[in-house]
Amino acid sequence: MKFPEARLRTGLPAEEAKRLARETAHHPDWVHDLILISSQPKGGTVARKASWVLRHAALCDKSVVVGHGAAILRAVDQSQDPSVHRELLKALVELPATELKSMGEDLYDLGLGLCADTSLPVAMVHVGVQLLHASGMLLGEEVAEVWRERGTNAETAPLARFLAKQLEAMKKRRR
């Protein structure tokens, strides 16, 4: 069964999108279709809705994204739409720890880049931190340096507090 792409339209009510996400949990073959739709380079409404449905399907049942980590990362690379990136990466962090750790270096580099890039929205810093933790790699001094710098020059007080808490937790883990 192929994902009903025509249902991904402008003005898609949240309840219908959530229903699609729940249906996806019962049609695991739809995950591949949602990833392909999300990977459209220009993004747009259909790609955004597909990535949103994929993320919410993963929230409903994490098993639907198992084994799709590499494909999700490829879709992030192919798309140029930041909102698609955010939703795909949030779906990605729902993968089991073993699969995430198998992509450790890629997740670490991507997470660090998201935290350091001041042109990205604040929400992407949060996703970057999630990716760094999900990588399973030891968070090194370069992470602390990026978090310190970004926190010092944070666009918002909540971001500054969030990064300060991340730094404090990092220090505690090292002790």
pLDDT at 174 over 80: no
| Per-residue pLDDT at 81 exceeds 70 | yes
For residues 39 and 45, give the distance between their C-alpha atoms in angstroms, rounded to a whole number.
12
| pLDDT of 1 strictly over 70 | no
| CA–CA gap between residue 47 and residue 43 (Å, rounded) | 5
pLDDT in tens, 104-150: 999 999 999 999 999 988 899 999 999 999 999 999 999 999 999 99
Spans of all domains in the chain:
1-95, 96-175
What's the whole-model pTM score? 0.89
Q: What is the pLDDT of residues 18-62, one digit of tens each?
A: 999 999 989 989 999 999 999 998 878 999 999 999 999 999 999
pLDDT confidence tier of residue 9, bands split at 50, 70 and 90: confident
Distance CA 3, CA 18 (A): 14
User: How many CB atoms neighbour CB 119 within 10 A?
Assistant: 6
On whether the CB atoms of residues 45 and 10 are closer than 8 A, the answer is yes
Structure tokens at 115: 């935290």
Give residue 13's pLDDT: 87
Q: Distance (Å, rounded) from C-alpha 144 to C-alpha 168?
A: 10
**What's the pLDDT band for 11 if we cut at 50, 70, 90?**
confident
pLDDT at 3 over 80: yes
How far is it, in rounded angstroms, from Cα 123 to Cα 28?
28
Give the pLDDT score at 92.
Answer: 96
**Phi, psi (rounded to 5 degrees) for 89:** -70, -35
